[in-house]
């Protein structure tokens, strides 16, 4: 009986060993396939200048979306969206599983962000007291409205929206508020897939107007999270959860074709605003604040990028560059993103360069420029003139050169790193400048004098070069 038992144990052990090997090989194969697919996503043969592929009309504005299936967006793992909010209109509360970086291209407004686990820091003053829940009504008590901080945003601001925070935006100005946002799907905060999703707490899906790219046969794109998520809950249980009547819940759940941006009646947005921050300082209740509130709940979410005094690169004759990374706006460390705003004067050149640790999503805000991008194989993947409203992705390490047109050039870039590193090819801190002359003479088969010109002719200029007829 001993031998059969030993044989059985041996066979079982062998079976388990083989099973583990098979599972291990399967997992390795799946991981290899996933890495291969990720690598194939960035095998860019040609970049293209893009415009929004879809246009969604709402009651109070327009939402424009770029084609997230475009190879360059797939490579960078991002999606682009532009919201146009008309005066006295509200972009309804929603949240995204991925972080977003937003540039305010035009207008001004109020931005509200609700952080999970953070208490209200503002109380409405000078407003009528409102009765609370049924139990408070029975006790004859009343409460005033309280909410978390509201931020003033304006043209030139870069705004950080962490994953999972509920946010809304109200245009209290006299012109349209135009906001371009980039969503980073590759963030560790997102454990879903690389598709744009917005979870709305109000509103509904309007009639979508399809652009030319979407009309192509077989292409059926839809915006995830189109409907109000509250609509799907049981109305009776939801009423119990809020301690309100079923009639109120039914109003929350009713079909609403106003879209994602709705008009607001005059006088119905009289909330505490950022301009009143000094008056409400006591609402912070400093004696009760803790480290969580200090670090997370009260983080600054926006930074003004159009201030010439904060330029990181400046040339009197060529232009300037304002960068906003995690050192200027610490919340960007959480997002793993950053931004920059650039200005090139007439016919000036931005030195050929590449970003070492990030993809670069490049959006034109004014003027035009000739842009060239070169891949690792030495092939030109983009050589085109870009104009206001154009967007293109520069993948990591792809070399880029820009030359402004006759009317100058302005742009904003979004980068998939909180602290991006750029390496220029020409200029005082360039790759060529850092090499010995003997290396240059042998690498390019040029004379010693020619190598000196390559290395030193731009040694007093950083990255922005004026036209030949100007001096920096």
- Asked if residue 185 lies in contact with residue 134, where contact means CB atoms within 8 angstroms, the answer is no
In sequence order, the 6+-apart residues with CB closer than 8 A to the CB of 167 are: 93, 94, 95, 111, 112, 113, 114, 161
Say which residue the tokens 């967007």 belong to: 391
**pLDDT the model gives residue 414:** 98
- Asked if residue 339 lies in contact with residue 412, where contact means CB atoms within 8 angstroms, the answer is yes
**pLDDT the model gives residue 142:** 52
pLDDT greater than 50 at residue 468: yes
C-alpha closest to that of 296 among 154, 415, 160: 160
Token pair for 90: 């509200």
Mean pLDDT score, 192-198: 83
pLDDT greater than 80 at residue 182: yes
For residues 28 and 37, what is the distance between their CA atoms, to the nearest angstrom? 14
203 pLDDT band, cuts 50/70/90, is confident
pLDDT greater than 90 at residue 215: no
Say which residue the tokens 């920096």 belong to: 472
| Other residues' Cβ atoms within 10 Å of the Cβ of residue 248 | 13
* Span 20-51, pLDDT tens digits: 444 444 444 443 344 344 444 787 889 999 99
Mean pLDDT score, 220-239: 74
Going by CATH, does the domain composed of 306-422 fall within 2.70.170.10? no
DSSP 210-234: E-TTTTSTT-----BT-SBGGGGS-
DSSP 249-315: HHHHHS--TT-SEEE--TTS-----GGGGGGGGGGG-GGG--HHIIIIIT---EEE---GGG-SEEE
Entry pTM: 0.81
Same fold, 54-122+145-203+258-298 and 306-422: yes
In CATH terms, the fold of domain 54-122+145-203+258-298 is: Jelly Rolls (2.60.120)
| 402 backbone φψ class: left, alpha, beta (φ>0; ψ -120 to 50) | beta
Task: Indicate the domain borders of the chain.
Answer: 54-122+145-203+258-298, 306-422
| Average per-residue pLDDT for the chain | 82
**pLDDT the model gives residue 288:** 45
* Span 80-126, pLDDT tens digits: 999 999 999 999 999 999 999 999 999 999 999 988 888 776 665 54
Mean pLDDT score, 251-260: 86
Angle between helices 246-253 and 235-242 (to 10 degrees): 110
Of the listed ranges 97-101, 263-267, 282-286, the one predicted with least confidence: 282-286
DSSP 373-394: EE-TTS-EEEEEEEETT-EEEE
**pLDDT the model gives residue 120:** 74
* Span 129-167, pLDDT tens digits: 444 444 444 444 556 667 777 899 999 999 999 999 999
* Span 332-357, pLDDT tens digits: 999 999 999 999 999 999 999 999 99
């Amino acid at each position: 009986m001993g031998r059969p038992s030993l044989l059985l144990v041996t066979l079982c052990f062998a079976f388990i060993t083989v099973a583990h090997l098979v599972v291990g090989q399967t997992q390795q194969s799946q991981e290899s396939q996933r890495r291969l697919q990720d690598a194939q996503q960035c095998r860019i043969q040609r970049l293209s200048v893009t415009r929004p592929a879809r246009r969604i009309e709402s009651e109070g504005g327009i939402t424009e979306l770029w084609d997230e299936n475009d190879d360059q967006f797939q490579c960078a793992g991002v999606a682009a969206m532009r919201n146009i909010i008309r005066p006295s209109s509200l972009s309804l509360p929603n949240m995204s599983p991925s972080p977003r970086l937003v540039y305010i291209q035009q207008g001004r407004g109020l931005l509200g962000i609700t952080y999970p686990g953070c208490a209200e820091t503002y109380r409405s003053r000078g407003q009528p007291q409102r009765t609370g829940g049924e139990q408070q009504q029975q006790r004859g008590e009343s409460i005033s409205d309280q909410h978390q901080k509201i931020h003033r945003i304006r043209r030139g601001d870069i705004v950080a929206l962490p994953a999972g925070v509920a946010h809304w935006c109200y245009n209290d100005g006299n012109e349209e508020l135009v906001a371009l946002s980039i969503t980073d799907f590759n963030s560790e905060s997102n454990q879903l897939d690389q598709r744009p999703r917005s979870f709305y707490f109000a509103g509904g899906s309007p009639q979508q107007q399809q652009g030319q790219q979407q009309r192509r046969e077989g292409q059926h794109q839809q915006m995830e999270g189109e409907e109000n998520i509250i609509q799907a809950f049981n109305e009776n249980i939801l009423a119990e959860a809020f301690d309100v009547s079923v009639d109120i819940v039914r109003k929350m759940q009713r079909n609403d074709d106003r879209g994602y941006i709705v008009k607001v009646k005059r006088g119905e947005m009289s909330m505490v605003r950022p301009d009143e921050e000094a008056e409400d300082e006591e609402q912070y209740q400093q004696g009760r604040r803790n480290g969580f509130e200090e670090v997370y709940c009260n983080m600054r979410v926006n930074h003004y990028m159009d201030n010439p005094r904060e330029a990181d690169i400046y040339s009197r004759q060529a232009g300037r560059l304002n960068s906003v990374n995690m050192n200027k706006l610490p919340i960007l460390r959480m997002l793993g993103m950053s931004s920059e705003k650039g200005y090139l004067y007439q016919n000036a050149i931005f030195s050929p360069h590449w970003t070492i640790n990030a993809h670069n999503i490049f959006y034109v805000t004014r003027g035009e420029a000739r842009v060239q991008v070169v891949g690792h194989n030495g092939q030109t993947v983009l050589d085109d003139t870009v104009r206001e409203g154009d967007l293109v992705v520069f993948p990591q390490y792809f070399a880029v050169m820009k030359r402004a047109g006759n009317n100058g050039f302005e742009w904003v870039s979004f980068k998939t790193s909180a602290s991006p590193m750029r390496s220029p090819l020409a200029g005082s801190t360039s790759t060529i400048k850092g090499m010995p002359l003997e290396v240059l003479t042998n690498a390019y088969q040029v004379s010693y004098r020619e190598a000196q010109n390559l290395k030193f002719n731009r040694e007093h200029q950083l990255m922005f070069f004026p036209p030949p007829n100007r001096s920096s």
